[in-house]
Amino acid sequence: MKTVDLIGHGGNEVVVVGERPMPERGAGQVLVRMHAATLNRVDLYMRDSGAGITHTLPQTMGLDGAGVIEAMDEGEPGLHIGQKVLVYPAVTCGVCEFCQSGEEVLCTRMSLLGEHRDGTLSEYIRVPARNLVPMPDSWTFEEAAALGVNHLTAWRMLVSRARLQAGESVLIFGIGGGVSLAGLQLAKAMGARVFVTSTQQDKLDRALALGADGVIHSREQDVVQEVMRLTGKRGVDVVFENVGQAVWDSALRSAVRGGRIVTCGATTGDQPGADLRRVFIRQLQILGSTLGNLEELKALTRFCEQQDLRPLIEKTYALDDIHAALDRLASGQQFGKLAVRIQG
């Protein structure tokens, strides 16, 4: 079977499209014929460094994906051969205190597809039956694949962590990337007012077309001043942040007293100034978040189907064009998800 494999670290030359043996399905596992996956920032991290992530090379890349069940044990509830499914990317132990409480995203032995174990950029994968969620019938495989990481991350940030309510306001940094776009789509569908930032005017224009209530050109405008102007000097209820050090001061100063700052990334650095006086005087809540639980993915899928909210796919690449897809992601110019068609 054809796969996209990581054979080293340090640039595109360590990513190869090749052939590997079909995975052998064990008891409790499901064999899925993959149709599509999407790229995530961690794919670049794995290609360029992989530092701090325990893995063995060669390793098949890809965190999220969607396909059709090819083989499975009899009697798996809610699943059947030929069913279209999307993949939950975290394989968890099921027995630690966090798994037992339904917070498996905190599992002490969690392994992620495409990071710690072979991933979804493969014609076939095997995963535990519990890692599969039926996908909406009318969706494309690319749209369904996109839910598993970026939209799930944004859902947990907004719903489970920040507990966003209709009528509240949200500031989203760096619109155009997958998590930030998912945050815009979800927050608007939840009835929030959403303001977004970018250094590129075309991305701000497209965000307005998607329903953003206000945009801030962070290279030409002072983010905090614009937030105060847009909110009548109040500040926003929720700051949605996945950029890190470069925007952290603006994030703290843009929140209303008692506001919530939820963060899931640090692409520009992870050691910002803390400004602890602002944190305790204004009683700000700083919330860390990453990925989400299986039940959150199921709830997200239902919500998106009910709202007819579909992930925005910028472009779909063939599996053989993986280097062009990774280069596009690395450029930071994309607006929406970059999908990879694995099989027709």
Cβ density class 321-342: b for 16+ within 10 Å, e for less: bbbebbebbbeeebbbbbbbbb
In this structure, which amino acid lies at residue 7?
I
Q: Average pLDDT of 63-91?
A: 96
Q: Average pLDDT of 299-316?
A: 96
Residue 312's Cβ-side half-sphere holds a number of Cα atoms within 13 Å equal to 20
Q: Highest mean pLDDT range out of 23-32, 239-248, 274-283? A: 23-32
Contact 153, 253 (CB under 8 A): no
Query: Structure tokens of 230?
Result: 């847009």
Interval 223-262: pLDDT, tens:
999 999 999 999 999 999 988 788 899 999 999 999 999 9
**What is residue 338's predicted lDDT score, i.e. its pLDDT?**
97
For the cut 90, the answer to whether the pLDDT of residue 82 exceeds it is: yes
Q: How far apart are the first and last CA of the chain?
A: 15
Q: pLDDT band for 153, please (50, 70, 90 cuts).
A: very high
**What is residue 156's predicted lDDT score, i.e. its pLDDT?**
98
Residue 224's Cβ-side half-sphere holds a number of Cα atoms within 13 Å equal to 10
Interval 189-226: pLDDT, tens:
999 999 999 999 999 999 999 999 999 999 999 999 99
Contact 175, 164 (CB under 8 A): no
- Average confidence score pLDDT of the chain: 95
For the cut 70, the answer to whether the pLDDT of residue 324 exceeds it is: yes
Q: Average pLDDT of 315-338?
A: 95
- Its sign, for the CA torsion 267, 273, 277, 280, is positive
**What is residue 239's predicted lDDT score, i.e. its pLDDT?**
98
**What is residue 246's predicted lDDT score, i.e. its pLDDT?**
83
For the cut 70, the answer to whether the pLDDT of residue 275 exceeds it is: yes
For the cut 90, the answer to whether the pLDDT of residue 11 exceeds it is: no
**What is residue 272's predicted lDDT score, i.e. its pLDDT?**
83
Percent of the chain predicted with pLDDT > 70: 100
**What is residue 344's predicted lDDT score, i.e. its pLDDT?**
67
Please classify residue 292 by burial: count the beta carbons closer than 10 Å to its beta carbon, then call 0-12 exposed, 13-18 middle and 19+ buried. buried
Please name the residues in contact with 308: beta carbons below 8 A apart, sequence gap of 6 or more.
none
Radius of gyration of the chain measured on its C-alpha atoms: 20
For the cut 90, the answer to whether the pLDDT of residue 64 exceeds it is: yes
Angle between helices 322-331 and 41-48 (to 10 degrees): 100
